[in-house]
Amino acid sequence: MEEVRLIEIKEEIHSDNTVKAKQLRDSLSKNKTFLLNLMSSPGAGKTTTILKTLEIIGDKLRSSVIEADIDSMVDAEKIAAKGIHAVQLRTGGFCHLDASMVEKGLEGMNLKDFDLVIIENVGNLVCPAEFDTGAIKNVMILSVPEGDDKPLKYPLMFTVCDVLLVNKIDYLSLSDFDIDAMKERVLNLNPKIRIFEISSKTGEGVQAWADWLTNEVKQFTAQ
């Protein structure tokens, strides 16, 4: 019987991606462009949150959005309809973005024209957390209808993120979501994470998040 050859694909992919992500960050730093990686499960409100956030930021920052989906251009069309520059990435079945994919999305724009580029990653709480996109900051959305136990089920996602947006807080009175228990679980995983409670539908809490993001971008571009 012929010996079966085993190739550790995952290790090689992650190693190559780490190098590419560093190169991408170096390019972003040179061009003074802040790249934000936004992750969540499907339906948590990524697109609505992006639109509400950029509405508040207004002309304080020159912004663009990279939309990632397995198929369709629905979200990119929503963004573009509001007059915001948008690029659609179709992953062709991949459940995440990596640095090479993001680089392709950035190729079609002049980075010097934008202070902020937001990646709306593929809706998934597993794969996107494993791949460095080259972003300056990682942000995730957890919506109230998903439940407060998600930090227990998907710890890596909460560990790699700099910010947690707890979205759809307008549903709190209609659910048994324990926000204090959720925060305790998240902070046990990642004591440095910033947590903002928001409703992208009503706009509650989004100002504080938008102010934080604007300040981070301005600090980065001033370096």
| pTM score above 0.95 | no
Q: Are 115 and 60 in contact (CB under 8 A)?
A: no
User: What was the pLDDT predicted at 3?
Assistant: 42
Which stretches of the chain score pLDDT less than 50?
Answer: 1-11
- Number of Cβ within 10 Å of residue 190's Cβ equals 18
Phi and psi of 149, rounded to 5°? Answer: -90, 0
Q: In the chain, how many H helices and how many E strands?
A: 8, 7
User: What was the pLDDT predicted at 13?
Assistant: 55
Domains along the sequence of the chain with CATH = 33-221 (3.40.50.300)
Q: Pull the structure tokens for residue 147.
A: 């439940």
User: What was the pLDDT predicted at 74?
Assistant: 84
User: What was the pLDDT predicted at 16?
Assistant: 87
Quote the strand ranges of the chain, DSSP E.
Answer: 34-40, 63-69, 85-90, 116-120, 137-143, 163-167, 194-197
User: Distance from first CA to last CA of the chain, Å, rounded?
Assistant: 61
Helix (H, G, I), strand (E, B) or coil at 165: strand
